[in-house]
Structure formats: structure tokens, C-alpha cells
Chains A and B, each alone.
Chain A
Amino acid sequence: MNFAWRIYQRLAQAFPHEFKMAFGDEMLQAGEEAMRQIAKRHGVMGLVRLLLDMAMRLPIEYANEIRQDLRYGARALAKSPGFALVGIVSMGLGIGLTTNVYSAGWSMLTRPLPSAAHASRLVTAENPVSYPYLEQYREEKGLFSGVAAVENGVAFNVTLQGALGAKPERVFGQIVSPDYFAVLGIPAERGRVLSAQLEKPGDVPVVVVSDRFWRSRLNADPDVIGHTIRINGQNATIVGITPRKFDGALSPTPVEMFVPTTVPAALAPELGDNVLRDRNAKEFQTLMYLAPGVTIDEAEAALDGITRRMEKEDGLALQQADTSKRVVLFAAGTRVPIPRKVKPAIIGFYAVLMGIVMGIACLNLATMLLARGAGRRKELAIRLGVGASRFRLIRQMVTEGILLSLLGGVAGFAMAYGLSNLNMHLQQPAGAPLLPDLAVDWHAALFALMLAVVCGIAFSVAPALQATKTDVAPALKQGSALQLSGHRLFGLRNLAMGAQVAGSLLLLLTTGFLVLGLLRGSSVPAQFNQKAMVLVSIDPVRDGYSPEKAQALFEELPDRLRGSQQVRSFALAAQPPFFTDDEDGGFALTVDDAHAASAVQQSVAKETVGAGYFGALNETPLAGREFVDADDRGTPGVGGVAMPIVLNEKAAKGLFGSGPALGKRLRSDRQMYEVVGVVRALKDGSGIVQPIAYVPLTAHDFARPPAGGITILARSDSAADALSGVESVVGSIDPKLTLFNAQTLSEYLELTRSGMRSALRTYGGIGLFGLILSAVGLAGVTAYAVAQRRKEIGIRMALGARKAQVLQLVLREGMSLIAVGSVLGFLGAFALARALSAVTTAFADAFEVGTNAPLLLVGAPLLLAGLALLACYVPARRAVMIDPLKSLRAE
């Protein structure tokens, strides 16, 4: 019974403070008296029942208190709608922006591939491999449960049957090994998926199309399975449709059709040249399903050894000497697989940026709560005086913070939803690749909610502690302006203001660097009217030509174009100008110099261009010559003959330093080159100057044009002239040939910039929101600081200080805080820029431009300082305007 009494006392102690204040003593007394009686009448069970009653009542009382807190908080907020609105807007902007970025970027990187059962166990190798290597990997049953080959971004000219005489549409898809769907663990929505058992070379070609393709191009016809369509001039049977939302693995842009590697090369020219047997043709990406229990590191190490051994068998001495990893694996079960090396940098960048945005929003909340707490000193003191516990008051204030934050979260989620819809509509210029579905979903909602709760708690505790740290008596006597004891250098308010300035400046500068960098880079300095150059693509192989016939066509075409009256100058290329394909993971060139102690190697971007390319762009080589027709007729890899190569300045500098490059020899892993010319380093479409090596178009390229076809660049007085010139020439050779993607150079550049423009919108938006947030926050914190000093100002005025003197005093103090914050923000921005530049080159170039922009470096701090000073001045002025007697007597 003594034991039971002790527990009873403990439980009674655990009740909420207010409850204890009202009923604690009585409950103890009643318990003591009742216990004897109960024990006598009901025995042990009665005592248990008594304690159970206490234990069950506890959570009810607490829940009741929280409900009261919420009701009280809501009423308090409703009473000061201005305060509530600013708080909600602050948190809403912060949470909305962060949620939007989270749902767009983050979920692209981490959301598993839709419908893929094996998503979490999928890996891919960073570099493409040849099919024989991949088959060897597939034999490693201990490592992988399955290995599929994927060739991404393959263009198909598709004619839907029934639309006779219709122009073929260009559709992007993947060539995949038949086990692709088995490796992914994806069933068919309709029909069947490709399978290693059913697909055999020599069978009637089959194709699986995506749900997107089925809906947009086949009108969601349910009877489409078994129908024939024409792909690159050949018949193929549609055997299945993939599940909704599945847009292909390893592809950032949606895949519309999946063509098996078993189809003949006539249907998919990518499969020509015996590419499935050629151990050197590194054309395929690997999609590997890890065997149970195997980690990605184990698989990587094992695969590295296997690859090394195979390369040794193939006699690849150069690669053998290279001690770096031959195989780097990373997870492939997400929409955009990202190498493990880069992932932390990207995630880190967004985390830091969003951390700053959220930090500023939360600081706003905190300073406002702080200011409000100071204004409520009297109220709090009264509640403390009549017996409320400090903990209770803190809980009350934190509840208000969470309430604000939650309302902000709701507003923020609405904003994120709106932004994402806006983005979907804005980001679709005509002709751009299809966008994957990036709608805000429940993940994002949960994220916003958690963010709101965590930030609400974290940033309202400090103000609550500060506000309740009050001696009851003076607070009751003096009201709100009790602290005349001089200002503390590291007081919460000074810290808040300094942090506010530093954080805002950091954000403004970082986004400013990026925006300026992107803007500055966006103008391609072409030496001619970009509107008078037309780009048009041709792809005879996908129009049904044999490789030999295609080759003959491209030998004939330059002569015919030269004879055209309308075309002033022209060139052929394997890609549009100012476009640098960095998907290949770089083109490694080594200086071929037997005397050098160590080999100089550099990874450059490769562009494949035809004779007269630089002439067509009005660029004169800085040294040497450009390609001529004879260069285009060569065949790579024959007899060790060196092929001509043209370097841009940046590549030449990287390989040969300041020494001459002309006549020097370079080798790649497959080919020897001789430098025949050096050209100016031009920016590419996204404004980055890369080291570029130009190699000539060869018979090989003509026989197997790249996914974008062979691009004809033609210039005349106007684009229309140039285009009709090309059309009439091509038409006179063969009227059945399709010309596609006709656009002027300026239109094309506009398109390539669309991605960048959306990045600009994002960064610009973040910067702008940051500025609004910090303006709100600064106004709040300084208004509070000055309001707190009203009494002091009153005393100064009463003692004869002039208005100007007092204003000066307030502003001087504000200024020093702003200065300290600015310096910190500046240093932070540069440190962040450095850190990010070290990790990714894309940021490095943008920052290089941005950090050299005086307008930004001077303008941003001045803008912020101006805002901050204004925020100091307005309330200070109001304070000195008041009659000193009044402000002294106030409250």
C-alpha cells in the first residue's frame, strides 16, 4: 500500500502545471483518504484501478492543455492580423520555394523509376561499353541477376500505318537488349514486353511503345497490339505498351519506343557495322540488376577487375597503363541517374541554397516572435504572477510559432503547386524534347509539413525563452520597455539582424553570380547574321538508304550545293554548331611524344564537322587550315594513318601549353591524329567555353548518321533563300529524301537556351524571394529594436538631444551591424562559390563571370544596406517624433 501511495504521488506530480495548481493538493489529500477505504473494500484490484485512473487521465489533461494553447494562439493571432500575415507570408514564401525545388529536383534524383520492381537494386556504369564486354558482364551470375544493354536517345523516323503518304515523324527511343524489361522488373500494360526468350535475330521486327506514345500518337487505340508501323522505312509490329508513367530508364527525357537489339540494321542503323560483335564499339550503356546480397562497391570492384582483364586480352596498352578505375558504378533506379561523385555536390548545392532561404524565412519568424514577446512582457508577467509556469508560457508561445509556421506551410504548399504548374507551362518551347512529369505530390506535401513543424519549433523556442526571462515585479511596473541596461553586443536581436543581413547577401550574391554567369554566356558571338543561316537535317539511312548509297549521296551533295545559285556558303556537320555533346564523357586525347617524360592527356569535347565548316561560320583559322573535301573521304582506324584534327585555342593550350600545335600528333584510344589547324575558342550555346577538338566527318559518319542526322548549315541573304536552295538541291538528287528540323541558327540557339532560361528563372526567383524575405525580416527586426528603445530615446530627447542626433545614433548602430553582416555574407558567398566551382565545371564558369561583375559585387550589398538603413530610419523617425513625455509615460 505504501508502494501504491508512492506511485500515486508520482503520477499526481506528472499532471500539467495548471492542473496541479488548481487541484494538486486536493487530489493528494483525496487520494490519501480514499486509498485506505479502497484497499479495505476492493483489495489490490481496487488500488490498481485507482492508479490506472490516474495514468489514463494524464494524457487527456495534456491534450486538453494543447487544445487550449491552440485556441488561445489562434485568438492571439487573429487579434494582430498584420503580424500573422507577415509571419505566414514569410514562412509561406520560404516553404513554398523550398518545396518546389525539392519536388522538382530532389524527386527527379531520388524517386524510384515508376513501375520498376527492381529499381532499388539497379546500377549502371558511368561509361558506355561494347556489347561483347556487356555479354561478359552478364555471365557474372554471382554479381548480377541481369544485365541489359541500352542505347539512349536514338532517333526513329516513324510512319503510322494507315496514314499513307504521311510524312514520317521523328521519335526518340532506345535500342535495348531484349532482357531490358526483365532487368527492370516492368510488366506490360497491354500486350507483352520484350523478352530474351521470344526475341531472336531474323524474326519479324517488333517494338514496344510507351504509354505516352500510345496516347499521343496512337490515340490510345486499345486494338493497336499486333499492328504494323514503319520505322526508318521498315515494317515493325507493335507487341506491347509499357505501364503509364514509365518513360524509360537511364534517360532524362521520356523514351517513346523500345526497339530490341535483335532487329536488322536496316531498321536501326545504330546496329550496323557489326556493333554487337565489335569489342571496340563502346556504344551501350549498361543496366544491371545486382544479385541478392551484392553491394554496389563489391560489384564495382569485381567488374573493374573483369574489365581490366578483357582489355589486356584486347591489347589495349594505353588503358592498361592507366591506373584509374576502369568501371565506376552508380545507382540507376531513378529518373536521372547521377554518378555518386557528383551527387553530393548537386544535392549539397540545393540543400545550402534552400537552407539559406529557409534560414532567412525562419529568422523572420524568430525576430517577429521576439518582437512580439517583448511587446507582451506585461501580459506574460501577469500570467507568471498568477501562477502559470514558465514552461507553460513557453509552450504557449511555441504553439503560436508552430501555428504560424503551419499556416505558412499551407500557403507554401499552395505556392509550390502553383509554381510547378507554371513551370510546366513555361518550359515547353516548340521542338524542345518532351518533359517528364514533375507534378508536386504527397511527398512534397509531407516535406512542406515537416519543414513547417521543425522550423516552427526550432525558431520559436529562443524568442519564447527570451520573452519569459522576466522578473515579474519590474516587468509589471515598467511594461515593455524595461531594458535600459545598455545593449549587449551579442544579444539575440543583434545576432538576428546581423544574420539576416549576412544570409540575404549570401543568397543574393550566389544567385546573382549564377544569373549573371548564365546571362553573360548566352550571347554567341557569331560573325554574321544568325537569322540568315539555316540549319536543316538529313538522314538518308533512316529514309531507307543502304550505307553505301548514303555515302555516295554525301559525296555528291557538296558539289551540288556548291553549284546552287541560292546557297552562298554551306557545310555539313554531325551536330548543330555551338552545340557541345558532353554525353560521351569526354574525348581523351594524349600528346604523342616519345621523348616526353610523362604523357600529357586532356579530355576535350568532340565535334564532328565537314569541309568548309569554319568558312561557313565566317571563322578564319588562327593557324593552319580547316578541313577540305579530301579529309571527309577518309576512313578512321585504317592502317594507323593519322587523321587531321583541328583544335580550338583552349584545347591547344591544354595539350601543348604555349608551344605550337600545328603538325603535332595526338592519339585517342583508337586513332592517331595530326593537328592541321587551330581556331578561336567559341562559346557554345549555353555560354561555356570548352576545349574542343574538331574531327572531320568520315565515310563512317555518312553510313551511320548520328541521332540528329547530318546537319546542313547553309547561309544566304536570307534563311528562306538558303532553305529553298538546299531543298531544291536535295530534291533534285532524290525527291523521297526527308529534310527535317529546319530552323535558323538564331532559332536553334534560342531553343538551346530554353533550359538555361528556366535555370535563370529558378535562380532569379530564389534571389528575388530572398530579397523580399529579407526586406520583411529587416523591417521587422529593426522596428522591434527601435521600438524597444523608445523609452531611452524619450529620455535622450527630454535631456535635450536634438532629433538629428538621436537619429544619427540609431542609424550608426544599425550601420555597424549591417557592415558586419555584409562582410560575413560576402565571405560566405565567395566561399560557397569556390566550393561549388571546385566540384562542377558548369558552376565554375558561371561563377567566374559573376565574381568579376562589379555591378553585382557593389550593387547587391548597397541594395541590402539601403533597405536595412531604411528599415532603421522609419521607426527611429517615428520614435523621435513622439513627445518625449508621452513615450516616457507610455504603459
Chain B
Amino acid sequence: MTEARVQGFLPLKTQWFHILLSLASGEQHGYGIMQDVLQRTVGKVRLWPATLYGSIKRLIEAELIEESDERPAPEEDDARRKYYRLTKLGLRVLDAECERLQELVSAIQDKRNQGTKLMVT
């Protein structure tokens, strides 16, 4: 798993970023991801079903996430649902993306500290 391979994924597509971010806190099924993203972004980002599963398919093919074989407790489990989790590569890509975004944000911060007026408050 080389650094170049990780960097090859950056910058992440918005949907990909959100899906990976949702899985960062643990395994999740598709509908769960959808809800998680919706809550986290206060309703601003909605992953529509076809887009969501299309993205999940690509993420699996890219080996950033994988299907999890661990199931939740039987009483909560729905047999139709598949759970997904980050792979090691997925985690590294997410980290790298976060780092990249962090740098962007601190660049904005620097500007603001120098007294430049930016629209964002």
C-alpha cells in the first residue's frame, strides 16, 4: 500500500468522503449511512439511494471499503441488510483527505488572521 496509491484517490468525491466518514466510527449499512450523512450535514447533503449504492459499489471495487462479516445482535439484525466497513486503505485515504482539508482550512485561517476580510465568518 504505497503513498502514491493513497494520493491517487485525492481529492475525494463528496459522496465518497461522506460515506467513508460515516464508516469511520464503525460498521454501518447503506440506509444507516444515508441517515448519518443527513444528520451530520443538517440535511444539506442527501445521498439518494441509486447514487449511494453506485458509490458503495465503486468503493468496494476500489478496495476502500468492504462488506463486513460481523453482524449486530440478532434482535437488531435485518437479514436483508449488508454492513460495510473501512479497509486499511480506506482509512488511510480518509486520513489523507482529512489532512488535505485541514490544510485548506488553516490556509483560510491564516488569511483571516492577516486581516483579509472573507465572506465566511
Contacts and interface: CB of A to CB of B under 8 A. Distances in A.
Interface in B65-107: 78, 80-82
Most chain A CB neighbours (cut-off 10 Å) among B30, B31, B51: B31
B53 A23 contact: yes
Contacts of A61: 54, 57
* Secondary structure call for the A interface: helix
A26 B49 CA distance: 9
B57 A30 contact: no
Interface residues of B, number: 18
Nearest to A57: B50
Interface string B7-37: 0000000000000000000000111001000
A11 to B, nearest CB: 8
Contacts of A53: 48-51
B30 A23 contact: yes
Contact of A50 (B29, B30, B49, B80): B49
Nearest to A11: B50
A30 B82 CA distance: 12
B56 interface: yes
A26 B81 contact: yes
Given A29-B81, A30-B31, A54 B54 contact: no
A808 to B, nearest CB: 54
A811 B67 CA distance: 55
Contact of B80 (A29, A34, A41, A49): A29
A733 to B, nearest CB: 92
A166 interface: no
Contacts of A33: 31
A29 B50 contact: no
B6 interface: no
A316 interface: no
Nearest to B43: A41
Interface string A2-41: 0000000001000000010011011101110110000001
B54 A29 contact: no
Contacts of B43: 41
Contacts of B53: 19, 23, 26-27, 30
Contacts of A29: 31, 78, 80-81
A27 B57 contact: no
Given A19-B57, A22-B57, A30 B80 contact: no
B77 to A, nearest CB: 13
Q: How large is the interface on A (under 10, 10 to 19, 20 to 34, 35 or more residues)?
A: 20 to 34
A60 interface: yes
B59 interface: no
Interface in A42-70: 49-50, 53-54, 56-58, 60-61
Contacts of B48: 49-50, 53-54
A16 B57 CA distance: 13
Nearest to A15: B50
B89 to A, nearest CB: 20
Contacts of A57: 50-51, 54
Nearest to B67: A22
Nearest to B54: A57
Contacts of A56: 50
A461 to B, nearest CB: 28
Contacts of A23: 30, 53, 56-57
B83 to A, nearest CB: 11
Contacts of B82: 26
Interface string A145-173: 00000000000000000000000000000
Interface of B: 29-31, 34, 43, 48-54, 56-57, 78, 80-82
Complex A-B, nearest 6 residue pairs according to Cβ-Cβ distance, in ascending order: A53-B48, A57-B50, A23-B53, A30-B31, A54-B50, A25-B80
26 contacts: A19-B57, A23-B30, A23-B53, A23-B56, A25-B80, A26-B81, A26-B82, A27-B50, A27-B53, A29-B78, A30-B30, A30-B34, A30-B49, A30-B52, A30-B53, A31-B49, A33-B31, A34-B49, A49-B48, A53-B48, A53-B51, A54-B49, A54-B50, A56-B50, A57-B54, A60-B54
